[in-house]
Amino acid sequence: MATKVGRDNQIVPAMLFLIPASIGFLAFFVWPTFRGIYLSFTDDNLLSDPTFIGFQNYIDIFNDAVFWRSMAVTFQYVFINVGVQTVVALALAVLMHRFTRSMVVRGIVVLPYLIANVIVALVWFWLADYSLGLINAVIETIGLDKIGFFGSEAWAMPTIALVNVWRHVGYTALLLFAGLQAIPRDVYEAAEVDGAGEFRVFRSVTLPLLRPVLAFVLVVTIVGSFQIFDTIAVTTGGGPVDATRAINFYIFERAFERFDFGYASALAVILMILLAIIAIVQNRLLRANESDMER
Amino acid sequence: MSSTTTKRPKKVRSSTAEDPAMAKSPVSKFFGRLALAIVIIITLFPIYWMVRTAFSDNRAMFGEPLSLLPVDFTLGPIKRVLGLATSAESIAEGGSGASINFGQYMVNSIIAATLITVFQVAFSAMAAYSFAILKWKGRDAVFNLFLIALMVPIIFTILPNFILIKDLGLLNTILGIALPAMFMTPFAIFFLRQFFFGINLSIIEAAVIDGASQWRIFSKIVIPLVWPQIITLALLQFIFYWNDYLWPLLVGTTDESKLLTVGLGIFRSQTPAGNPDWAGLMAGALIAAIPIFILILIFGRQIVGSIQSSGVK
């Protein structure tokens, strides 16, 4: 009887077990969140004490051409990165599902995702180098004009987006592959009995049954994609001109190169609100998809 | 490993027969496997190219940009970035001659990633125990509060956290790099909580009747039961913090606190635009990647399995 009472009210041991995690949560998540919001209303510059300046940073951001340009290139990046990545990952997941059960293949496919962004960026920076890189050497051998992958305004952001497709596509494919494996086997038997071809099976069986997992994967990849930083930092540094100055990189520059901590905090608040809206909207769509499935 | 590899053709054929999701027609099979082969080549080739370049002579390489093998095979670039070559030797092979020490950065990376992983996994396991096994009022509400932290963009907390670490006097220390991640991460708690839910409660109830303390139940019963998942989580977190760039870039800029990723970024920005030391850069990248390759060779199956299971929820 005594144990029964104890089992329903274990708040004392529960709190003791939560002490270390709570310290981390309060000190490095909650406190900085409120501090960040507060800083966004100040002119903090790391040197002198911050002064409260109301919405001035937000007004300045609204009139900041660099900010708008930065949002535009961020959206360009997200659009190319997520678009290409989702299509290729879906194709790859289906390939793995239909043609192999090899763990080694899955391991190889996910390998780039486990290598640091910085390493991946540098390897492709070398492969796609204008004067000495392999890709341009091949292009020249074929007799075409060399491409300034990282050096030209038109190519830089698409190149960075595709480099990160290379890094993430296997990981995304693996998530989708797991979703494919959850599809009951007998629907494929039925499709086979009906004599459905490869593309017919994909369009009529695989895709509709995979939509909930696909929607989940899209939420994760879009929110992650908005936070592109490492690849830009080690390759283009925001250039050429400002063709690759994505929002995270712009925040970093304002905070740690120009020490406009207040202004950078306001930029970060805007990014946080934007990501929250995207996550909520996508969550709605995800639920809509699931109810579609149940019919 | 080798025994399964030699038997694989047989295994694939037999599992095709059992698994209706697998394609049957020989034509489909041919094109499907061809496509997979192309994917594997595209995945592995850039990694091979990093290795090929890391063992090439930086001067001679530029004469043969299409050579698939290392050009004038040499250990020079590796020695150069580990600080084992003299500056004259470096310059002779097309290096900059500046002193760089990836050996030191690797030690820093190992310390930082290990420090974070050990404490974070231990403290997150304690929190997960509280959220999954113990019964108390408001448990799920507090858990959801912790999960909200997942939604906050990294760049947002990084700015105030930088000020905090600076005020604590921990800038340019490995502890400063590790501290914010050492106590917990919502992902780790979430990950372990799911496995704790799968534990048979009757074992724990029996221990309670025997008068075991909660700490004893946690450390002697629950942790051993989920040990494989703890190891998998530790691997994933180690790799994550090994690869991290932005936070260590801000906090660790001295030789004593610089991590490998940061060292690579600085090496890249310091190479002269006209005559970059690509071989040295790829040697540094290779050194930073090798520990991850080793972990994947040993634990590939667990890593792939945990990523797969994170998708279907």
Tens digit of pLDDT for each residue in B132-185?
999 888 899 999 998 888 778 888 899 999 999 999 999 999 999 999 999 999
The pair of structure tokens assigned to A167 is 């890094």
Q: Is B10 exposed, middle or buried (0-12, 13-18, 19+ CB in 10 A)?
A: exposed
Structure pTM?
0.89
Nearest Cα residue in chain A from B46 = A123
Place of tokens 């009472």: A5
Chain A CB contacts of B124 under 8 Å are: 21
- Options 3.20.20.140, 3.40.50.300, 1.10.3720.10, 1.10.300.10; which CATH number does B103-259 get? 1.10.3720.10
pLDDT digits (tens, 9 = 90+) for B269-310: 877 666 788 898 999 999 999 999 999 999 988 888 888 877
pLDDT over 80 (residue B120): yes
Domain locations in chain A as residue ranges: 65-294
Cβ contacts (< 8 Å) between B251 and chain A: which residues?
none
Contacts of A109 in chain B (CB under 8 A): 39-40, 43
* Every domain range in chain B assigned CATH 1.10.3720.10: 103-259
- DSSP-assigned letter for residue A243: T
Rounded to two decimals, the ipTM of the complex is: 0.88
Nearest-CA distance A242 → chain B (Å): 18
* B243 contact residues in A (CB cutoff 8 A): 114-119
Distance CA B112, CA B114 (A): 6
Give the contacts of B21 (CB within 8 A, at least 6 positions apart): A97, A98, A180, A181, A183, A185, A188
Alpha carbon of A231: minimum distance to chain B alpha carbons (Å): 10
Helical axes B227-243 vs B102-132, angle rounded to 10°: 140
**Residue A232: closest CA among chain B residues belongs to which residue?**
B265
pLDDT at B7 over 80: no
In chain B, the N- to C-terminal Cα span, in Å, equals: 31
- Whether the CB-CB separation of B71 and B86 falls below 8 Å is answered with no
* pLDDT tens column, A179-232: 888 888 888 888 878 887 778 888 888 888 888 888 888 888 898 999 999 999
Closest partner CB to B157 (pick from A33, A177, A192):
A33
pLDDT of B218: 92
CATH architecture of A65-294: Orthogonal Bundle (1.10)
Asked if B65 and A137 come within 8 Å (Cβ–Cβ), the reply is: yes
Helix ranges, chain B (H): 2-18, 26-54, 58-61, 76-81, 87-92, 102-132, 139-148, 154-167, 174-182, 186-197, 201-209, 214-217, 223-225, 227-243, 246-251, 260-270, 278-311
* Of B106-110, B138-142, B209-213, B262-266, minimum mean pLDDT range: B209-213
Spans in chain A with pLDDT lower than 70:
1-8, 286-295
**For residues B126 and A21, is the Cβ–Cβ distance under 8 A?**
yes
